[in-house]
Structure 1
Amino acid sequence: MQTTKTYPKPEDILPHDKPMSLVDKITDFEPGKWIKATTSFDEKAFFYQGHFQGNPITPGVILLESMFQTCGLYLRISAETTPGFPMIMGRAVKVKNASFSKEVKPDQLIEISAKFKHKMMAFFVFDCEIHMDGKLVCHSELVLS
Structure 2
Amino acid sequence: MIDNKEIREVIPHRYPFLMIDKVLEIEDGKKAVGIKNVSANEPFFQGHFPGNPIMPGVLIVEAMAQLGGITVMHGKDNNNMIGLFTGINKCKFKRVVGPGDQLKIEVEIISSKLNLIKAKGVATVDGDLAAEAEISFMLVEKN
Please state which band the TM-score falls in when normalised by the shorter chain: 0.7 to 0.9
Question: TM-score, structure 2 length as denominator?
Answer: 0.86
1:7 aligns with 2:27: no
Query: How well do the aligned residues superpose, as a CA RMSD in angstroms?
Result: 1.9
Question: TM-score, structure 1 length as denominator?
Answer: 0.85
Which runs of 5 or more residues in structure 2 are unaligned? 139-143
**Cα contact 1:115–1:126 (8 A) shared by 2:** yes
| Partner deviation per Cα, 1:33-63 (whole Å, 9 max, x = no partner) | 2011001122121111121121100000111
1:122 aligns with 2:115: yes
Count of aligned residue pairs for this structure pair: 136
Q: 2:70 aligns with which of 53, 73, 82?
A: 73
Question: Could you say if the C-alpha distance between residues 76 and 120 of structure 1 is closer, same or farther in structure 2, counting changes exceeding 3 Å?
Answer: closer
C-alpha separation in 1, matches of 2:2 and 2:53: 31
**Cα contact 2:105–2:122 (8 A) shared by 1:** yes
Aligned AA (1:7): I
Aligned AA (2:121): C
**Identical residues among aligned pairs (%):** 24
Q: Following superposition, which runs of at least 4 residues in structure 1 exceed 3 angstroms of deviation?
A: none
Match in the other structure for 1:16 = 13
Which runs of 5 or more residues in structure 1 are unaligned? 1-5
Greater Rg by CA? 1
| Partner deviation per Cα, 1:120-140 (whole Å, 9 max, x = no partner) | 343100000001111111000
1:98 aligns with 2:95: no
Aligned AA (2:65): F
**Cα contact 2:37–2:101 (8 A) shared by 1:** yes
